[in-house]
Amino acid sequence: SATLVGSLRVGGYDGHIILGVHPDIPQKEESYLTKMGVTMYKVVTAECDPRILDGVAETSNGVRAKCSRGLEDLKLEWGRYEMARRWLRACEGCTGWSMVIDTRDIFFQADPFSGLGDPNVAEHDLLFVEEIAKYTNPKPHEAHRA
C-alpha cells in the first residue's frame, strides 16, 4: 500500500485515499499512511456463513475462502465492494470520482482522475476497466496469483 499511496501523491493526486488494512498493520506503515492523509479501515477476517460456500471447491485463495467480520454473507472477493460503498458513504468530502482496486500490484504515474473531467457533468458516471492478464501478468501461466 505504501507504493500505491506514494505513487498517487507523487503523481499529483491530493484527494481522499481510503484503504482497508490488516488489523495488525505494522506501526511504521500505519504512521506513513497517516502522514500521507490516508483513511484506514482495519478489516478483520471471519469465517463465512456456510450457506454461501455450498458447492465451492476448497481453495487457498484468501479472497475466495474468507469473509470479513460483519459481512459473513459475502466472500472477500465480493465483500470488498460493499466495504468500499460503506467507506465512501461515510466520507462526506468524497464527492467526485472514485476507484476500487487491489493494491498489491498497482502504482500510478499521474493523477488517475485528471483526464476524466467534472463528474457532475460527465456523460458516463460508471466506468469499468479490466486488466488484460495476457499483457500485464508477468506469470500468465499461473492462474489465480493471489
87, 68 Cβ separation under 8 angstroms: no
Residue 15 has a CB neighbour count (10 Å cut-off) of: 14
Record the pTM.
0.80
Check residue 146 and give its pLDDT: 43
Q: End-to-end distance of the chain based on CA atoms, in angstroms? A: 15
State the residue for C-alpha cell 501523491. Answer: 9
pLDDT at residue 134, as a whole number: 63
Residue 63 pLDDT: 60
In 3-state terms the chain splits into helix, strand, coil percentages (rounded to 5) of 30, 15, 55
H or E element, residue 86: helix 76-90
**Run of H or E including 110:** none
Q: Provide the residue-wise pLDDT of the chain in tens; the chain has 146 residues.
A: 788 899 999 999 999 999 999 999 999 999 999 999 999 999 999 999 888 877 665 656 556 778 999 999 998 888 999 999 999 999 999 999 999 887 777 888 899 898 888 888 988 888 877 766 666 666 666 665 54
Amino acid present at 135: Y
